Structures are given as C-alpha cells and as structure tokens.
C-alpha cells in the first residue's frame, strides 16, 4: 500500500492505512519493519499460528524491452528515484493503469493508455468507473483499446491492432501495468513453518483492500 501515498486522489486510502496502523499500536501489536519472514525465522519464533499476508507482485509481460530504462512498473510510480518523462504511454488499462494515467496527466504529462481488450477499467465498480472515465477524458488521456503492446523500444511502445498492423506510440516513459500475481512461491515455502498456517489477502488472489481486510478479520476471529 506504499503506492497510495503520493497519489492525491488516494488520500482516503492512505488515511485508512494510517488508521489501521494506529489501531494496531493501540491494541499492543508489535510491528517489526524491515524484517523478512523466512522459514528459519518462523521456526525460531515458534508461533502457534502463522498468518500469511504476503501480497502480490507486478506481472512483467514477456515482450522485448521491459528491461529498458524507458520502462517503469505501474507500482513503482511513487518511488522518488523513478523519473517519468513528459510523454508517457501506459501499457494496460486495468484499474492501476487508469489511475496511473490520471495521476500522471494531473502532473501535466501527455498520456496515452493502451489496452488490448475492448474496454478499460472493467474491474472498477459501478460508481467508480464513470468517475474514472470522466477524469481520463477531462485530462485528455488518449485511450487506445484493442491495441496490444508488443515491444518497448528506445522510441516508445510498438503495438499491433486486430489485423496485426504495427503502430509506434512514441514515449519518453512506458508505464507497464498489466496486473498483479499472487506471491504463491513465497507462501508455499512457509506452509510447514508453523502448526497452523492461514493465508489471506493478495497472496491468495490479487483483489482489493476490502477483500484483504475481510479475510484478515475473519482469520483473526477463527484463531
Ligand atoms: C498500484 C496499486 C494500486 C492499488 N489501488 C487500490 C485501491 O485504490 N483500492 C483498493 O481497494 N485496492 C487497491 N489495490 C489493491 C490492494 O493494494 C491490495 O488488494 C491489498 O493491499 C492487499 O493487501 P495484502 O495485505 O494482502 O497485501 P499487501 O498490501 O501487498 O501487503 C503485503 C506486504 O507483505 C510484505 N511481505 C511480502 N513478503 C514478505 C516476507 N517474506 N516477509 C515480510 N514481509 C513480506 C510486503 O512487503 C508487503 O508490505 C492496489 C494495488 C496496486 C498494486
């Protein structure tokens, strides 16, 4: 959830994170930052129950150029060392791609959003989606659907249409935002670390905060 801090229209979500932190501290939960949970560490601490909430990682598509200095992961936009050029192409029109487009357009970038499916932000809820689409239109974000990113070059993102015709979308920065994958390998490595192991949140399936909180709360009730 570190990503929400710098995005102006996510301040309520950031507030929720700070509120949860305050509630944990008040309830006497010991919070250890910069501490990687490994099988050895868990065995040393010997908890009765281990709750795994390891989260998800961004998917890196298997197209040439994702290692180019022009390519940036959508989840990395809030990192101070990540420089974003004036002309930006966003690869992927899911929620993260659309919100990244709004955020960057609000900063005065020229943004084009490329999505291979028929539509964008399909996973947004019925109240959120029209607002998001209006914001994209008001900020003059160019939206290209049925357009598939096939390689990142030193000029931008090359895409194909339904007929296989190639078009170059020029960009100083290509923001790669094609989804998240659950950190299943990390979970699997910890499944035998404690007598009882419970999995919650995005490490089971990448979803949203509501689902992660719901599962986490019910895991707590069950213990
Ligand atoms: C860019 C982006 C924007 C999003 N925006 C929204 C939004 O607006 N609204 C919404 O509802 N949802 C949003 N989501 C989804 C939401 O962030 C997740 O559903 C939610 O954070 C899942 O919570 P979690 O606790 O399962 O995982 P996370 O919040 O990802 O937390 C997992 C934590 O575990 C830590 N960790 C991993 N492995 C280890 C280890 N071995 N040892 C110690 N720590 C470890 C990680 O560093 C991380 O801090 C967004 C996701 C992304 C990527």
Instruction: List Cβ neighbours of 132 (8 Å cut-off, separation of 6 or more).
Output: 95, 98, 99, 102, 121, 124
DSSP, collapsed to helix, strand or coil, labels residue 144 as strand
Looking up residue 205, the CATH number of its domain turns out to be 3.40.50.720
Pocket test for ligand 1, best of 212, 214, 215, 217 (most atoms within 8 A of CB): 212
The residue range of the domain holding 117 is 60-178
Q: Tell me: do 173 and 65 sit in the same domain.
A: yes
Q: Tell me: do 71 and 172 sit in the same domain.
A: yes
Q: Is 112 close to ligand 1, i.e. is its CB under 6 Å away?
A: no
pLDDT value of residue 3 = 57
From first to last of its 223 residues, the chain has per-residue pLDDT tens of 655 667 778 888 889 999 999 999 999 999 999 999 999 999 999 999 999 999 999 999 999 999 999 999 998 887 777 889 999 999 999 999 999 999 999 999 999 999 999 999 999 999 999 999 999 999 999 999 999 999 999 999 999 999 999 999 999 999 999 999 999 999 999 999 999 999 999 999 999 999 999 999 999 999 9
Number of domains in the chain: 2
Q: Tell me: do 106 and 165 sit in the same domain.
A: yes
Residue having the nearest C-alpha atom to atom 27 of ligand 1: 55
Q: Tell me: do 189 and 174 sit in the same domain.
A: no
Looking up residue 83, the CATH number of its domain turns out to be 3.50.50.60
Q: How far is the CA of 55 from the centre of ligand 1 (A)?
A: 5
Alpha-carbon distance 57 to 167, whole Å?
Answer: 29
pLDDT value of residue 4 = 60
Residue having the nearest C-alpha atom to atom 28 of ligand 1: 55
Q: Tell me: do 98 and 206 sit in the same domain.
A: no
pTM of the model as a whole: 0.91
Q: Tell me: do 73 and 120 sit in the same domain.
A: yes
pLDDT value of residue 206 = 95
Alpha-carbon distance 211 to 201, whole Å?
Answer: 7
Q: Tell me: do 218 and 161 sit in the same domain.
A: no
Q: Tell me: do 86 and 174 sit in the same domain.
A: yes
Q: Is 7 close to ligand 1, i.e. is its CB under 6 Å away?
A: no
Q: Tell me: do 168 and 215 sit in the same domain.
A: no
């Amino acid at each position: 959830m570190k990503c929400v801090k710098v995005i102006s229209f996510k301040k309520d979500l950031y507030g929720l994170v700070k509120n949860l932190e305050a509630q944990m501290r008040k309830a006497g939960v010991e919070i250890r930052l910069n501490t990687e949970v490994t099988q050895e560490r868990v065995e040393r601490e010997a908890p009765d129950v281990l709750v795994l909430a390891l989260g998800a990682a961004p998917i890196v598509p298997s197209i040439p150029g994702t290692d180019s200095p022009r390519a940036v992961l959508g989840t990395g936009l809030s990192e101070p060392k990540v420089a974003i050029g004036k002309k930006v192409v966003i690869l992927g029109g899911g929620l993260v791609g659309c919100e990244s487009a709004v955020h960057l357009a609000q900063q005065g970038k020229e943004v084009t959003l490329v999505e291979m499916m028929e539509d964008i932000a399909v996973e947004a809820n019925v109240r959120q989606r029209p607002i998001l689409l209006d914001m994209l239109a008001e900020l003059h974000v160019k939206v290209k659907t049925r357009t598939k990113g096939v390689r990142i070059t030193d000029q931008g993102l090359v895409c194909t249409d339904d007929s296989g015709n190639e078009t170059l979308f020029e960009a100083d920065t290509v923001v790669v935002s094609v989804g998240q994958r659950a950190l299943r390998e990390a979970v699997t490595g910890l499944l035998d670390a404690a007598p009882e192991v419970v999995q919650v949140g995005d490490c089971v399936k990448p979803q949203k905060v509501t689902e992660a909180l719901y599962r986490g709360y019910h895991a707590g009730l069950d213990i």
